[in-house]
């Protein structure tokens, strides 16, 4: 009988990519790169929050959502500017 103890861990690690979860050897090879990318993303979020705390500059959720709603249209809005 094949050992399947790794399947739950792989499914969690690669929850956004079921193909990698199913391809155990490939998933193991890519795991460090994916963790590095995830850590870099978290660090960039922390840096952005620190910048907002230090400067007060921000764009509101409503401003960003209004801008994103126009993506891929003929009337795309410019990127919202940061403000106090």
The fraction of the chain above a pLDDT of 90, given in percent, is 55
Distance CA 19, CA 33 (A): 16
Distance CA 81, CA 64 (A): 10
pLDDT band at 6 (very low <50, low <70, confident <90, very high): low
Q: Render pLDDT for 58-82 as a digit per residue (tens, 0 to 9).
A: 999 999 999 999 999 999 999 999 9
Q: Render pLDDT for 23-64 as a digit per residue (tens, 0 to 9).
A: 767 777 877 888 898 899 999 999 999 999 999 999 999 999
Identify the pLDDT of residue 34: 82
């Amino acid at each position: 009988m094949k050992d399947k103890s790794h399947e739950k861990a792989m499914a969690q690690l690669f929850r956004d990519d079921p193909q990698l979860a199913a391809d155990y050897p490939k998933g193991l090879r890519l795991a460090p790169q994916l963790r590095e990318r995830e850590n870099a993303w978290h660090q960039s979020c922390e840096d952005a929050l620190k910048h907002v705390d230090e400067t007060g500059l921000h764009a509101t959720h409503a401003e960003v959502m209004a801008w994103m709603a126009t993506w891929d249209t003929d009337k795309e809005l410019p990127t919202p500017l940061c403000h106090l």
